[in-house]
A and B are shown apart, each in its own frame.
Chain A
Amino acid sequence: MKSSLLPLGLVLASFCLGAAQAIAEPTFSHVEHQFWIYQHIDGQAHFRFPWDAEANDVQYNKEALPDFAKACLDVTDASFKNALSSVDAARKMQDLAAKGATSKFLVLMNVIQSKADYSQLRQWDRDAYFYQWNDLRSKPSLFLSDFRSGFWVWEVVSWPGSCLQPPIEELHRYLDYVGQRLGVKN
């Protein structure tokens, strides 16, 4: 699996110079990209998910993306960095890391043809959202999330003219929730 490292540490470090309270550099061990490019057959989106098929349609090469998705990828990387390097998010991530949370990141882009496909994606539980995913071969689900392993996922949806990013408010709700789960012994 190819991976591309994002300069999160640098962004956070420079941001934190002006912060009242110093925050240590984040401990993101690495960041990966996945591109889920949906085929459009008979007016419907099709994709072989990693948990449904022996061979899946997940791609790792950004050169294979259509132009609108390449543009969305630039927006995504910037949004991802900005969101996670804000003082609040960085502090929460730092607290979670201290409680043993994973430090691996995955940027997952769903590439579809039109808005009509988006409602179909929602039925498949795909959406622009920030969450944790334990096993890349199993369907992600909150109830089975063990936040000490796996990846944090920044999932986006791209189609011509649109580039949906996870809501920042939801990111904070999610991080707060993980803090609660990791805060108890069991």
Chain B
Amino acid sequence: MKISNLLAPFLFLSLSCSETPWPFSENDVTHVEHSTVKQQAIGNCWLYAQASWLESMLQSSWSKEVDVSETYWEYWDLYEKLISGSQKLDDSVNTGGSWFRSNHLIETYGWIEEGLFIKEESGMIKSSAQACAEKYIARESTEGGRLGPQHERTPSYVKSELNKAFSCGGQYAVDIDEAFELRHSAADTMLRDPKNEKEKSLVDWLDDWTEVHNSTRGYAAYEGKKLPSRGTLATYRSWEKRLKRALNDHQPVVLSFFVSFNAPDQNGLFNLNTLAQKGSLGQSGGHMVVLHDYTVTHVPLLDYVGEGERDAETKEAALLGDLDYVVVKNSWGAYRDDRPWLGDGYSRITWDYLTKTYWDEESQAFYPFLQSLVFPPGY
């Protein structure tokens, strides 16, 4: 998945944080464990989604909240892109990625607690170091810049440049080699299966979680005014069931989708009616988040099941209902004055929105809003 840099300009806006817990409604279906909501500073939602996934898995296994460093992975991502030359000679920093890419970074470089990499950013909602690094690289990876000539981008030179870039002009002491020594390797990180209590390594977990990509693109390329076909709906129905079963068992399913900032209503619910009233996609691009909860309609005997942790019987009944909307842990911060609809940082997205297509002006084709889902093994 290509993450668009379109979202980046939003992410430098000021943040108004609060420690007040979100007042969840009492009629809630499930509740996946999640760490504190963060706010991405650059266009790397995929690393925040990967960290949220890992933090949820660690929380289930270790029964404590762990602050995994997204900045550490961002460092290695930029390092590889500079070495390989995929960070081109221009002032637009390539911060895009995918589930596949972040899996590669964890398997290669492991993970580390935020405080062990840049200790000043431990517990911080938004990383300054990442914003500094993006600015530095944008400036220096141009013609005549310190990172301009590809032949000079040797591993040790790039590391010394990135240490500088992430230090925010010397404000932080950054030493990637030292951090690498302190890392948890994926092979040594043992995680418990919440279903059967068995432990296996993070490497095995990453191998076992499966990303399913939306293959309705060929069809959707020219069928924009139509409802999804019955075949497409059957695929979505199957995903809906897998998603609900996994969430019922507190598994942090990962979602990639195309986000439009014209879609959320005043309560933060992304839906097509609000988008239609606006009349255009507006600011938009690829986004990745981790699921937390869902609601269903048309449940036999219950009609509607709302957010939150329900008993096993209600969860079983919820499998028979129609998915209304999913609740996701987002990476845009919380309680922001400039985006009050973000609330506690958990967003709500209707299944109707995700299962329809949007018109892409650039490629002159329709694409599905829902791009992929990452499911745990056995679901």
Contacts and interface: CB of A to CB of B under 8 A. Distances in A.
Interface of A: 122-125, 127, 129, 131, 133-134, 139-146, 170, 173-174, 177, 180-181, 184, 186
A186 B271 contact: yes
Nearest to A143: B356
A145 B273 CA distance: 8
Interface centre among B222, B280, B357 (most CB of A within 10 A): B222
A133 B271 contact: no
A129 B279 CA distance: 22
A180 B269 CA distance: 16
A129 to B, nearest CB: 6
Contact of A177 (B227, B265, B277, B358): B227
A145 B271 contact: no
B273 A186 contact: yes
Q: Which 5 A-B pairs have the closest CB atoms?
A: A146-B276, A140-B225, A141-B224, A186-B265, A131-B225
Contacts of B272: 143, 145, 181
Given A141-B359, A143-B356, 15 more contacts: A123-B222, A125-B224, A139-B224, A140-B224, A141-B225, A141-B366, A142-B227, A142-B356, A143-B224, A144-B280, A144-B359, A174-B227, A181-B272, A184-B271, A184-B273
Nearest to A138: B279
A156 to B, nearest CB: 14
B359 A139 contact: yes
Contact of A142 (B224, B271, B274): B224
Contact of B226 (A124, A142, A146, A180): A142
Contacts of B356: 142-143
A104 to B, nearest CB: 17
Contacts, number: 67
Contact of A143 (B265, B269, B277, B358): B358
Given A146-B277, A186-B273, A122 B222 contact: yes
B114 to A, nearest CB: 37
A144 B280 CA distance: 7
A81 B4 CA distance: 47
A143 B275 contact: yes
A132 to B, nearest CB: 8
Contacts of A129: 225-226
B223 interface: yes
Nearest to A122: B222
Contact of B222 (A125, A145, A177, A184): A125
B227 A173 contact: yes
B271 A170 contact: no
Contact of B227 (A124, A125, A139, A170): A170
Given A141-B359, A142-B357, A125 B275 contact: no
A177 to B, nearest CB: 6
Interface centre among A127, A133, A144, A174 (most CB of B within 10 A): A144
B341 to A, nearest CB: 12
Contacts of A131: 225-226
B352 interface: yes
A84 B226 CA distance: 18
Contacts of B369: 143
Contact of A186 (B222, B274, B280): B274
Interface in B256-284: 265, 269, 271-277, 279-280
Interface string B191-234: 00000000000000000000000000000001111110000000
A120 B27 CA distance: 51
A29 B126 CA distance: 55
B269 A186 contact: yes
Nearest to B369: A143
Interface in B351-379: 352, 356-359, 366, 369
Contact of A145 (B223, B276, B280): B276
A175 B199 CA distance: 50
Contacts of A146: 273, 276-277, 279
Contacts of A174: 227
A57 B157 CA distance: 62
A141 B260 CA distance: 15
Contacts of B279: 144, 146
Contacts of A181: 272-273, 352
A37 to B, nearest CB: 20
22 contacts: A124-B222, A125-B222, A125-B223, A139-B224, A141-B224, A141-B357, A141-B366, A142-B357, A143-B272, A143-B276, A143-B357, A144-B276, A146-B273, A146-B279, A170-B226, A177-B227, A181-B272, A181-B352, A184-B273, A186-B265, A186-B271, A186-B273
